[in-house]
Structure 1
Amino acid sequence: MHEQFSYQQSAHTLGLFSFSAKMKDFSYGKHAHEEFSIGVTCRGRQDFFSNGAFHKSQAGNVIFFSPEQVHDGHAGDGKDMEYEMLYIPDSIMMSLMQSIGNVSKDQSRLREASFYDLILQRQVMSFSRSMNSEQPLSSLEEEHLLLGIAHSIVRLGGGSFIEKVVHGRTEMLLERAKEFIHFNLNRKIDIEEISSAANMSKYHFIRLFSKQFGMTPHQYVLSNKINRVKRELELGDNAANIAFKYGFSDLSHLNRNFKNTFGITPTQYQKQLSL
């Protein structure tokens, strides 16, 4: 097997990378990363020594290294092995976790370096594949995916989630953010712009918005865009034109998101209206 190692840098977050590896004979020496290193063994077995113990990560397992956690690594049983990994800056992940829960530094450093958790596994794989897709992630999509991983770490580390009722001036500021979103649906907007419209810090805003409206800012923006697309399809506009108008990277990007909401593609929806 030819060894393959591939890194992909985030276009929005400094120090955020995805990494994919295919290996058989290569062995990593002892080392540690400054970031949270969270991955999934995709094929074969990943063997490594860390935290005073030897680990054998089977296909499907999550691999979790806290910042500065020393480890090595190689393919197990001398067979081909593949894995995906995310490198997430410590400050970014801690800010996200503390925006949604009461979590100490110790609780964010999970005890197990290899374990099975289907939710976190799917989150890591979804993020990694999205970063390596030809369709680049928007900053809102990236924040949404990072928030999901932060939620899982709080859950696995035993932290408690913040339950805070939103009222008064805060509610007014969140409504102002919604108005900003509605007014700017025909262009790409990022979380900094939306949170600034609400006069809040980014992570504080994400938590309060999600609590108040039952979805993250990214989900809310996407939902409103899809509803606008539906309305314009009903008025007879072309799906490709609409995709461009509302900032989808191409028609397939629109098709996927429209189908997730309505079960059929925009073109299929338009055809049904003309029957």
Structure 2
Amino acid sequence: MGNASRFQFIKSQHVPSLTVLHAAMEDFSYDRHAHEEYAFGVTLAGRQDFFSGGQFHRSPPGNVILFNPEEVHDGQSGGERALNYLMLYVHPEQVKPLFANALGNEHGANFRSHQTLIQDAPLRQAIVELARLVTSQTGSRIDQENALYWVVARTAQLGGVAQSSQVSTRPDTLLGLAKAYIHAHLDRDISLDDISEAAHLSKYHFLRLFRQHYGITPHQYVINCRINAARSSLDSGAPLTEVALRFGFADLSHFNRRFKRIYGMTTHQYQRDIAR
């Protein structure tokens, strides 16, 4: 990654799990990955090209991008102008009661948007305003909570589905067992045999089914989950080398290479941003 791409993470001082990313990209491409959080973004300049949900998307300035938790995507600058965008990340537990309130029922707590690219001025303005409050460190906790509520409320108005209302298929259930096993053993040296056995599938069938459903391989998913878990440890100020070894990376250099492909910066740079 050259000097033409810049990334800055700003953590809310008032709302737990709320983080803002400001990014300027010319010569950087994200690996396919997924976050545990909801991600609400706005393309500010240039064009944002990315894969998600089995489709390739192009987001011009003014568009809103919305990723549900664990939704696989990548991203890069498209067109001739440099890409500039912002993204809000917030953990599902933080917004479950907000979605439930906005939709008027408890099933709304597990809301998932059915749209990835959205052209909606009120939602765009709500995202930009919340990002401004966090970035400038202005307003009280209730100001930021209220701004977050309007992001959630407008997202809910634009449509989606509560997970509890969806009918689970047998592959969903079996792959859910595999994912649960992975999350429970992130700090261990697990194998494909271990994971496929947890899913009650042959290794061949498991590999084909997993990639078909999620758009990444089980190996990519394991690395992604380890990076996300490591990021939480970095947020708490844990020593970099200790975090790297805890989550199965050979050394800090290996950890940094993997981390940068998803977050655009080294672990030291990320921890420095979050500590501000």
Aligned to 2:63: 61
Tell whether 2:118 aligns with 1:115.
yes
Aligned to 1:24: 26
Distance 2:38 2:118 in 1: 16
Work out the CA distance in 2 between the residues paired with 1:77 and 1:107: 36
Amino acid at match of 1:92: Q
Does residue 72 (structure 1) correspond to residue 71 (structure 2)? The answer is no
**Post-superposition offset of 1:99:** 2.1
Aligned partner of residue 109 in structure 1, secondary structure:
strand
Quick check: 1:127–1:145 contact (8 Å CA) kept in 2?
yes
User: Per chain length, whose mean CA-contact separation is higher, i.e. which structure has more relative contact order (CA < 8 Å, sep 6+)?
Assistant: 2
Q: Deviations over 1:62-106 (max 9, x none)?
A: 000000000000000253000010001101112111123236459
Q: TM-score, normalised on structure 2?
A: 0.54
The separation in 2 between residues aligned to 1:150 and 1:115, in whole angstroms, is 14
**Which has the higher Rg, Structure 1 or Structure 2?**
1
Of stretches 106-115 and 122-131 in structure 1, the one that deviates more from structure 2 is 106-115
* Counterpart residue type for residue 113 of structure 1: T
- Residue 127 of structure 1 aligns with an amino acid whose one-letter code is L
- For the Cα contact (< 8 Å) 2:45–2:85, is it kept in 1? yes
1:52 is displaced (CA, Å) by 0.3
Paired position in structure 2 for 1:128:
131
Tell me the equivalent position of 2:196: none
- Quickly say closer, same or farther: Cα 1:37–1:158, change in 2 above 3 A: closer
Matched, 1:47 2:71: no
Structure 1: state its 5+ residue gaps. Answer: 161-275
Secondary structure class of the residue paired with 1:132: helix
With 70-79 and 119-128 compared, the bigger mean Cα shift is at: 70-79
SS of the residue 2:101 aligns to: helix
Q: 1:54/1:106 Cα in 2 relative to 1: closer, same or farther (>3 Å)?
A: farther
Return the alpha-carbon distance in structure 2 between the equivalents of residues 5 and 39 of structure 1.
14
Cα distance, 1:105–1:78 mapped onto 2, change above 3 Å: farther
**Structure 2 Cα separation of the partners of residues 137 and 25 of structure 1:** 35
Q: 1:84 maps to what in 2?
A: 86
Structure 1 residue ranges, 4+ long, deviating more than 6 angstroms after superposition: none
1:71 and 1:152 map into 2 onto residues whose CA distance is 23
Q: 2:157 aligns with which of 145, 148, 155?
A: 155
CA distance in 2, matches of 1:20, 1:91: 23
Structure 2 counterpart of 1:11, from 13, 16, 26: 13
Change (3 A) 1:105 1:151: closer
TM-score (norm 1): 0.54
User: Given the superposition, is the C-alpha separation of residues 106 and 113 from structure 1 closer, same or farther in structure 2, using an over 3 Å criterion?
Assistant: farther
Q: CA RMSD in A?
A: 2.1
Query: Deviations 1:169-201 (Å, cap 9, x if unpaired)?
Result: xxxxxxxxxxxxxxxxxxxxxxxxxxxxxxxxx
Once the two structures are aligned, what percentage of the paired residues are identical?
36
What's the CA shift for 1:15?
Answer: 1.5
Counterparts of residues 1-275 of structure 1 (less than 5 Å): 2-102=4-104, 104=107, 108-133=111-136, 135-157=137-159
Alignment deviations for residues 2-28 of structure 1 (CA, whole Å, 9 cap, x no partner): 211011101122211011000111000
